[in-house]
Chain A
Amino acid sequence: MRLHKETRLLSALLGPILVLAACVGCSGGSADGGGGDQQANLTVWSWDGTVAKAVPGFEAENPNIKVKVVNAGSSTDEYTALDNAIQAGSGVPDLAMFEYFALPYFAIPGKLDDLGGFGAESLQKDYVAAAWNDVTVNGKVYGLPSDYGPSAMFYNEATLKKAGVNKPPATWDEYYQDAKKVRALGGNYYIAQDTGDPFFLLSLIWQAGGRPFKVSGNTVHIDFTDPGTTKAVEFWQKMLDEGLVNTKVTAWSDDWNRTLNDGTLASQTMGGWLTSTLPERAPHAAGRFKVALMPQWAQGDEVGSENGGSSFGIPAAAQHKAAAYKFLKYFTHDAGLTPRVAAGAFVPDTSVLESKDAQSKANTYFGGQKVGAVLAEASKSVATGWQYPPFFEWARVTYGDLVSKFYTTGKGSLAQILEEWKQRMTKYGNDQGFKVD
């Protein structure tokens, strides 16, 4: 063991050089030793920074397991990296992070392990129903939900007041009326921004009852003409046509941060996880933002949808699966939740959502509002039955190609783009061996 320790120290100091010298032609990517029989060194790929907060507690409880949390890129970058690692047959992590839409892509071709073998099914009751639905593919569980994105409306109360709007819109009709009032302030004032974010449009469709993707085994049915989809698409088309939406500022860009900061963006309908990053992006707007349920399609309804959220799964090629599941359960279901929630994670575990802390804690950035209670309500109202096709990662990138034309030139319509999107997905899906129609 002494030797082992020395090697570690050396590799920390000389990392690349040492491995270069010692590792001529070898295939492993990591400088770790093989580890003893019970000793497991877990590698976890995550771009969610809160996961690392759960590690000290876990390692204290499980001295034989060492956890290394690595940021292998966000979203697409990570999926590409994971695909590459699986192809290469080396460097595959023991746990990886997947947005809900990406899970089927890895689950269907057998790149992820069915967690049923670890008894994951028994955890179903502890999560919000729609979140469990997100990690279930063809009836099997492939991941545990780690963060959640119930759609909610973050609104700048001061800006709305300035426009003469004294309470946040409860329905989309009110939203439309308020949008005109906000726009009447002139300048860069808008009630929303949108440059063709598929997840926003899909969250509207989801809430309106549209279910454009129906997946069963390798068969995918795509239809953007059902009544729910049509209602949502026509509404947003009207918002765009009347110039009520800022189409110049993309979410997550520098410009977006500034419109949030200076109050010209009156609201942002997005996943609940925006709560923790908003204070960082709009520090000057402290005390002005509030959270509400997303507006409803009919007065008195309480139907929600998702926008984002992710889970962790165990790749089929992972090395220490039992240990991986142990950690997975720890930080998504058990004691590991506490430090993560404290660090800003928003999770779909009912134990957390219903806890006294989440329900009654005042959030100072949001002017003392009990944000947790609002988001817990939003989580529980998320409609179920939504599915993503197994090639959605490809599809959303393609959507970006199609939609940019419309948002920048105003030519065409959302409905046309969705139709074109369907054709592209159909061709791609069939080329990939699925049955798509």
Chain B
Amino acid sequence: MSLTASRQGTSGKAGSATSGASARRSGNPRRLYTVENPRKSVALTVMTGLFTLYCLLPLVWLVINATKSQPDFASSFGLAPGHRFALWDNIVEVFRYQDGIFSRWLLNTVVYVVVGATVSTFLAALGGYALAKLDFTGKRVFFFVVLGSIAVPGIALAIPQFLLFTRLGITNTPWAVLIPSFINPFGLYLMWVFAAEAVPTDLLDAAKVDGAGEFRTFLQIGLPMLAPASVTVLLFSFVSIWNNYFLPLIMLKDPNWYPLTIGLNQWNKLGSTAGNGALIQNLVITASLLTIIPLIIAFLSLQRYWQSGLSLGAVKG
């Protein structure tokens, strides 16, 4: 948590900034001013603010339109509220529509995410630890093959994966979505970097001298020390599995196994495919909002953890 520490360090220094401001007037501006707490720039704030607006606008649009009934959505200006505040009705209807299949999709997504992210993080930790701290034949080759695989486009894998899983008879089961999500090459890399730096070999040796086996040493000493990197890998696996569309699209055809993303698009298509499909744009929009809320909460609440993990990956990468 180097970042957190350094941020706290800065806020500690913030107190001296006020004295810096007065120091400027007394004619010794530069040194105290630019480094830790320079003067705020309105122009820079406005420019960055414009970009922030671009980032927030669609989300604001989503929130506003989730409060509209279908007729209001079809007839009112996108950024203006509708005649009637229908958010609660919409939410209730989302959970009721098609015998409440939305909650099933939500549950599926949660299972895919929890199982997938946990297993992939554990496997990455185990592998990264082994790469950094243990010796085995073919390590170099293994490492380069795994890293090289990051550059292989998903499509190159997805079609043969599908055909292979078809042979194994696991398409249209949760395994078809889960198994590919267990492997996170980038997570392995991050864990390797982190294990090499944060886990002192001496400590491991000491544990082994005390009679602990390799695996117990890993579980009791290695794994806890890998915690910061684990949170990062966990969170980013979380996002990529939650947002996954392509893989479940080709692997699953029973709506009972759909994750949210596939279900959402199916609902949207109901009204935009020729035929008698129901027009439920208000539900599509409300369901979209409900889909992104858990992710946004996860990111905001775990900010300090993943930001530090990310910084490590970035600095070392």
Contacts and interface: CB of A to CB of B under 8 A. Distances in A.
A252 B273 contact: yes
Contact of A90 (B111, B172, B269): B172
Contacts of B115: 20
A30 B255 contact: no
A281 interface: yes
B254 A29 contact: yes
26 contacts: A15-B256, A16-B107, A16-B257, A20-B174, A29-B254, A47-B275, A48-B276, A50-B276, A70-B254, A70-B255, A71-B266, A72-B254, A75-B275, A84-B172, A85-B172, A88-B165, A88-B166, A90-B169, A147-B276, A252-B272, A252-B274, A254-B74, A277-B276, A277-B277, A283-B71, A308-B275
5 closest A-B pairs by beta carbon, nearest first, are: A27-B169, A81-B253, A29-B172, A91-B172, A74-B273
A28 B174 CA distance: 11
Interface residues of B, number: 41
A312 to B, nearest CB: 14
Nearest to A90: B169
B171 A88 contact: yes
Contacts of A50: 276
B130 to A, nearest CB: 25
A89 B168 CA distance: 10
B173 to A, nearest CB: 6
A341 to B, nearest CB: 13
| Main SS at interface, chain B | helix
Interface in B144-179: 162-163, 165-166, 168-175, 178
A38 interface: no
A258 interface: yes
Contact of B275 (A17, A48, A261, A284): A48
A37 interface: no
Contacts of B255: 70-72
Interface residues of A, number: 51
A408 interface: no
Contacts of B168: 27
Contacts of A277: 275-277, 279
B276 A74 contact: no
A406 to B, nearest CB: 21
B275 A74 contact: yes
Interface string A75-94: 10100011011011111000
Interface in A241-271: 251-254, 257-258, 261
Interface in B166-205: 166, 168-175, 178
Interface in B264-286: 266, 269-279, 281
